[in-house]
């Protein structure tokens, strides 16, 4: 299946932080050459060195989500999406990493196409610009403290999940809580592919707050971020997957 991650890791000499765990894992383009592919693995240590497959987006709607960007680039293999925040608010900019430089060429053809009522600028940027944005978004201890002070319901949102995650994986992650598969909702795009997010319903708000002890723990080889959520947010995510 296109876009699946490989099994071998890579390193660029830079710790990208827990939020970008997709980039810690490898990708068929970066680590494993697919059958019949003319591409070679991206060499982070030297040698053959193509353009890092990232573009920058500007002019996005302020209610834009990862899902909207996946739809905007429908047909391309997205490896990572980073929404840029400034002073705690979405700036209207994002970075998108693709499976290969060729994919970025196709992405650039969507420059000034509309997302909702706004046209979106798509332009080239550097690996360094992407990493600087990653560093600026890396979780800080203050953010963890802020989560303690938020109002909790019985619902938690999980972000950064492997795209291949199953309900069983999530139940195992929360094995200290009495949950069933009916209480786990994996978010999908309109085409049925997973978004890397899920919603989990706990018996009570108190249980959900206790489950926050699993924030930034790992499922497989990915760190998972947890956030207080609500039934309404989970329903909206479910509704988007049907469109």
Across 126-151, average pLDDT: 68
Confidence of residue 23 (pLDDT cuts 50, 70, 90): very low
Average pLDDT across the chain, whole number: 76
Residue 223, sorted as left (phi over 0), alpha (psi -120 to 50) or beta, turns out to be beta
Residue 94 has pLDDT above 60, yes or no: yes
Residue 192 has pLDDT above 50, yes or no: yes
Residue 46 has pLDDT above 90, yes or no: no
For the stretch 203-239, pLDDT in tens is: 999 999 999 999 888 887 677 888 888 888 888 888 7
Q: Which long-range contacts (CB under 8 A, 24 or more apart) does 101-107 make?
A: 101/50, 101/51, 101/52, 101/53, 102/39, 103/53, 103/76, 103/77, 104/51, 104/53, 104/54, 104/55, 106/75, 106/76, 107/55, 107/73, 107/76
């Amino acid at each position: 299946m296109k876009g699946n991650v490989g099994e071998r890791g890579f390193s660029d000499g830079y710790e990208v932080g827990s939020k970008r765990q997709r980039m810690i894992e490898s990708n068929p383009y970066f680590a494993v050459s697919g059958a019949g592919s003319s591409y070679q693995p991206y060499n982070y240590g030297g040698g053959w060195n193509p353009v890092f497959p990232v573009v920058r987006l500007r002019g996005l709607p302020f209610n834009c989500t990862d899902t909207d960007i996946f739809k905007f680039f429908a047909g391309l293999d997205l490896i990572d999406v980073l929404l840029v925040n400034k002073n705690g608010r979405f700036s209207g900019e994002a970075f998108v990493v693709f499976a290969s430089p060729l994919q970025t060429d196709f992405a650039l053809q969507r420059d000034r196409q509309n997302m909702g009522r706004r046209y979106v600028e798509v332009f080239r940027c550097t690996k360094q610009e992407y990493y600087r944005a990653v560093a600026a978004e890396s979780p800080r201890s203050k953010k963890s403290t802020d989560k303690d002070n938020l109002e909790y319901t019985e619902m938690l949102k999980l972000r950064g999940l492997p795209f291949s995650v199953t309900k069983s994986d999530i139940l195992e992650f929360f094995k200290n809580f009495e949950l069933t598969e009916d209480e786990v909702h994996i978010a999908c795009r309109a085409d049925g592919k997973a978004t890397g997010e899920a919603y989990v319903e706990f018996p009570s708000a108190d249980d959900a707050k206790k489950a926050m002890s699993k924030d930034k723990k790992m499922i497989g080889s990915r760190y998972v971020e947890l956030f207080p959520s609500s039934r309404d947010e989970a329903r909206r995510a479910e509704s988007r997957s049907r469109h």
